[in-house]
Amino acid sequence: MSKGFSLEIRHKDAATNARTGVLHTPHGDCQLPMFMPVGTLATVKYLSPDELREMGAGVVLANTYHLSLRPGADLVAEAGGVQNFMRYDGPMLTDSGGFQVFSLAKNKGITEKGIRFKSHLDGSELEFTPESVIDLEQKIGADIIMSFDECAPYPVTHDYMEQSMERTVRWAKRGLEHKTRNDQALFGIVQGGEFEDLRYRCAQDLSALPFAGYSIGGTSIGEPRDVEYKMVTYAIKYLPWEKPRYLMGVGSIDMILDAVGKGVDMFDCVLPTRLGRHGALMTMTGRVNIKAASFAKDFAPIERDCDCYTCRKGFTRAYLHHLVKCDEGLGMRLCSIHNIRFLIRIMEGARKAIDEDRFSEYKEETLRRFGDIRGF
């Protein structure tokens, strides 16, 4: 383990592989399992660091690709690292940018050295290698950093995925060898697409290396939901029990609860803030479109039993309807606060249920109440 970083497993659910624990980091401890808000450009859109802390956030994400373009990793380092730069005093994580290269960058050229591509901002030519990404992440300075990987599209052939997976493992080794800071925890990323043999090989190869934790990548990129479930199942059973496990880019509660039951500890997604900015609210009984005309004279809170700032302070559905319809920033803030707190509350409930050996019942009841999960 890296300096100041360790996993303390507290309890395993009697009927599943769900577990609770504490993740110790140089910037504080986090209760597991947890949902991590995404602050791509060193900010969770519309929210302050104090608001994130108030709603129970632990680790917050920033993105290497985006910060390397604006404002630049050197400037973040000059500011004293990403926590000091954005004034968030808790633990942080940086993605390697592999997904952003896959989803945003144009005209990609993948070689053994790395990936050459054009910036989505101005079309300038860039190159990411396992070594250059580690350099960027070390400058940005988050507590947890990710290996550079190839996020392959879906679907692809077994042959293509095999070559991509093997290259990801080789890149992971190179990044691990290049890393010099001992106050950052480097995670390996398990790829392999929908193929069990490739997920197995990748997990086995990475588990043999001294990573501080392991991520499951390549999910939520357009594959059917049943394939997502299988990808997690294939990967996690070969990952070390004593290391933290992180399912990347997942914010739907059915996927989160399914993965928690399999032993995943960490989740992140832009979903709650993206939905919030468009007036879509996550509630315990399903998705609410606050723009709908039916809410124009609804003076109830979003949810009466919700303890988020938006609900606790009595902001009504009618007021949120008005704000969002008028494109007011406060409406986007209040909806985003509710949605992030919603997912953090889901995880708090999961932790309590695991400690009481009733996780399966909690999962079943939560999904029953939530109803149609396809909206998320």
**Apex CA 155: angle with CA 263 and CA 251, to 5°?**
40
E strand intervals along the chain: 6-12, 19-25, 28-32, 34-37, 60-63, 92-95, 106-110, 115-118, 125-128, 144-146, 185-190, 213-216, 245-247, 266-269, 280-283, 286-289
**Apex CA 220: angle with CA 279 and CA 96, to 5°?**
100
**Is the dihedral angle over the CA atoms 247, 251, 256, 258 positive or is it negative?**
negative
- Cα separation, 145 vs 222, in Å, equals 25
Q: Is 372 an active-site residue?
A: no
* Beta pairing, strands 280-283 & 106-110: unpaired
Strand order of the sheet with strand 28-32? 6-12, 19-25, 28-32
> Which has the closest alpha carbon to 301: 286, 290, 288, 316?
316
Helical residues (DSSP H) of 29-145, grouped into ranges: 49-54, 64-69, 73-78, 82-86, 98-103, 130-140
Which residues on neighbouring strands pair with residue 19, listed in sequence order? Answer: 12
Q: Is 268 an active-site residue?
A: yes
Catalytic residue among 50, 135, 268, 357: 268
- Cα separation, 148 vs 136, in Å, equals 11
- Cα separation, 21 vs 201, in Å, equals 27
- Integer angstrom CA distances of residue 10 from 18, 57, 216, 301: 11, 20, 22, 36
What DSSP string describes 309-338? HHHHTT--HHHHHHHHHTT-HHHHHHHHHH
Catalytic residue among 29, 89, 95, 143: 95
Residue 268 has φ and ψ, to the nearest 5°, of -145, 155
User: Hey, which residues are catalytic here?
Assistant: 95, 268
